[in-house]
Structure 1
Amino acid sequence: MTSALLIIDVQNDFTEGGALEVKGGAAVARGISALLERDAHRYGVVAASRDWHNAEGDNGGHFALDEEPDYMDTWPVHCVAGTPGAEYHPELDLSRVRVHVRKGQGLPAYSAFEGTTDDGRMLAAVFRDVGVTRVDVVGIATDHCVRESAFDAKRAGFDVRVRANLTAAVNPARVGETLRALEVAGIEIEGEPSTPA
């Protein structure tokens, strides 16, 4: 059995001080780096996704340009391709990441499985090609892109675990509901999510 670690959207714009900051985001970056330092040998492949939105337009209605964002379907401008906000957080150790996925690119996209790798492949195919059967999901945000990536990993036929202590949420009040929905779908939850004040 080969396991993959899937790191979701640990980017400057999603951490403290970013355009769409998530409290606890920097701590998630540090925690994932510590996990990789300690347990990288447990993973046959480490993949990381990034939002990578177009600078022009509203990216299929994803950006709230003329009204207030609702933080469910519409968002402030964030993670624009090529900007510092779209880069990985500096405390995320990338030395063991072998697969990089960009998602969005003109359309709303929450799951890493909707994006493409640097060579244009879909993530599920990459995982299957290296014999992955289990996917551990970590990153930002628990209640959006982590959730949707975990659901899609399960739909793709992988055994899935969300390491909740290595995630942070846009809306901490929704974390319990999110984790229950994941469990109902047959996704394992490990650890307690951090809920910074």
Structure 2
Amino acid sequence: MIKAFYLSCCTLFLSANLPNPDAALEIGAQIPKAELTWQDISGKEISLNSAKGKNGLLVIFGGNQCPYMIRNQERIKQLCVSASKNNIGVVMINSNEATRGEGESMPAMKELAAKMQFSCYYVMDKNAALADAFDANHTPECFLFDKNGKLTYKGGIDDSPGNAETVKVRLLQNAINEMLAGKPVTVSSSNSLGCNIRRRL
């Protein structure tokens, strides 16, 4: 009897701490937590809805120190410019709560954005609430929403996050082009290879 009770308790504990398979944001889903506000490096409080452009919204989970982010900085910069020209809002989100004092602070975010001249919002995600809502786990990891706020693509920037010189398929740019043309996105999801988002335990 005691053994059975112990096993039941263990099962409940483990199931409560396992990732929820239903938590993944599926293609066609609406922008999560779209009306809540988050602090941008400018000091303004913005929502994802307010950042959305006429033709959609690109959300990129990023950070300051991840080697994959460093290798993708120029690509992100170019994507921000391209998206803005096509009336797609861009928000980069820093969810690295566990390393706020180790290079992921607001001053460090401001310094990186100024250095790279990012033409996008860069917001701090307190308690990784947005990362949890999106089920985002890596940096960089991208989510593209159309003009109606529906998810059309999620995953990596391209097929070679570690080396820009060996890129063969520009996954995110292709998705943007197809979305703007009113076509179904051919590759709507891909694996996002990068650093783990450092949530606070």
Common topology (TM > 0.5)? no
TM value normalised by structure 2 = 0.38
Higher helix share: 2
Larger radius of gyration: 2
